[in-house]
Amino acid sequence: MRPPDNLATLKGTPVAMAIAGVLIVPAMWAFLLAPRIVLAVAPFTGLLFLLSGVHMTYRSRFSPAEAMWSFVLALIFFGSLLVASTTSLVWRMGRPELHGAAVAVAAAIGTGGLLLGYLAERRRLSPSKGGIPVALMPIIDLEQHRLRPLPIAGSPPTMGRVAFLAALALNLPLLLQLNGLQRDDVLWLAMPVLGAAVTYVLTTGIGPSLARIQALRALERRTGQRFTTSRIEELNAMRRGLWLARWFCRADDLKAAAPASAGLKGARPRR
């Protein structure tokens, strides 16, 4: 878990996360659950994702422990998309007795993709030097216990990729139908594409990220120190400009770092 290259994009994260929790995640279960259940679950998932977005914007250190929580949210989001890609086909067939099998297929595909990416990354991280995986050395600063925001292979999905998949899930069937395809053809084409896209993200992004989180957590336990992002000062400077910072930010983060020349301010020059 690393902060976005453009830290200003964090300002809109709470709203984007809330929309995902209220609209997208519950909607993906509409083919399986009764409407009243979907509507009852939406406030809870919305609140969960909203609080996570607020934490990311105002308080996150982008540490390995926080990355584990982001991993859980990613499973909820992408797992819901994967369930929709299978249960929608059963719904279109008019075979409600196959809903259980559709969920099992989605779980098997998701678990398989996640496991493949996890095991591949574990093998990549196995060579180590001084107890540190060689592949992670470019991002680790042991002296300051910081994580450099360098892009590495199998990085977790960005908000842009998440938004793209959400748009694909919600709009692709409509776009295909507007271009002359029948409703049945649209579902049979769009949903497998969605399932394949989600599986690709699980295999190349989410699974490898879990292996890296475990490696970094093991290193934290060995050193007795927790890692934070090396851009924490930039983050805090950005957060001090947010109008809700005084209520949501940590007290220490709101304190501006004193310049090194502060002690010389007001001193009279010697003649």
pLDDT band at 180 (very low <50, low <70, confident <90, very high): low
Q: Tell me the pLDDT of the chain averaged across its residues.
A: 83
How many C-beta atoms surround the C-beta of residue 116 within 10 A? 16
Q: Is the pLDDT assigned to residue 112 strictly greater than 90?
A: yes
Q: How many C-alpha atoms does 77 have within 13 Å on its Cβ side?
A: 31
Q: Is the pLDDT assigned to residue 271 strictly greater than 90?
A: no
How many C-beta atoms surround the C-beta of residue 132 within 10 A? 17
Against a cut of 0.85, is the pTM above it? no
pLDDT band at 43 (very low <50, low <70, confident <90, very high): very high
Q: What would the DSSP string read from start to end of 138-180?
A: GGEETTTTEE-----TTPPPPHHHHHHHHHHHHHHHHHHHHTT
Average pLDDT over residues 64-73: 93
83 vs 138: CA distance, rounded Å: 37
Whose tokens are 């949501």? That residue is 248
Q: List CB contacts of 236: < 8 A, sequence separation 6 or more.
A: 249, 253, 254
pLDDT band at 162 (very low <50, low <70, confident <90, very high): low
pLDDT band at 242 (very low <50, low <70, confident <90, very high): very high
Choose between 191 and 87: higher pLDDT. 87
3-state secondary structure of 39: helix
Domains of the chain, by residue range, sit at 7-264
Please give the DSSP secondary-structure letter assigned to residue 84.
H
197 vs 202: CA distance, rounded Å: 9
Q: Which amino acid is at 188?
A: W
**Under 8 Å between Cβ of 213 and 71:** yes
Percent of the chain residues past pLDDT 90, beyond the cut: 54
Nearest to residue 226, comparing CAs of 105, 100, 74, 63?
63
Whose tokens are 């699980």? That residue is 202
Mark out the alpha helices in the chain (DSSP H runs): 13-19, 25-27, 35-58, 64-93, 99-125, 159-178, 183-201, 207-223, 232-239, 245-248
Q: Is the pLDDT assigned to residue 175 strictly greater than 90?
A: no
92 vs 88: CA distance, rounded Å: 6
φ/ψ (deg, to 5) at 229 = -70, 145
Tokens standing for 61?
Answer: 């250190």
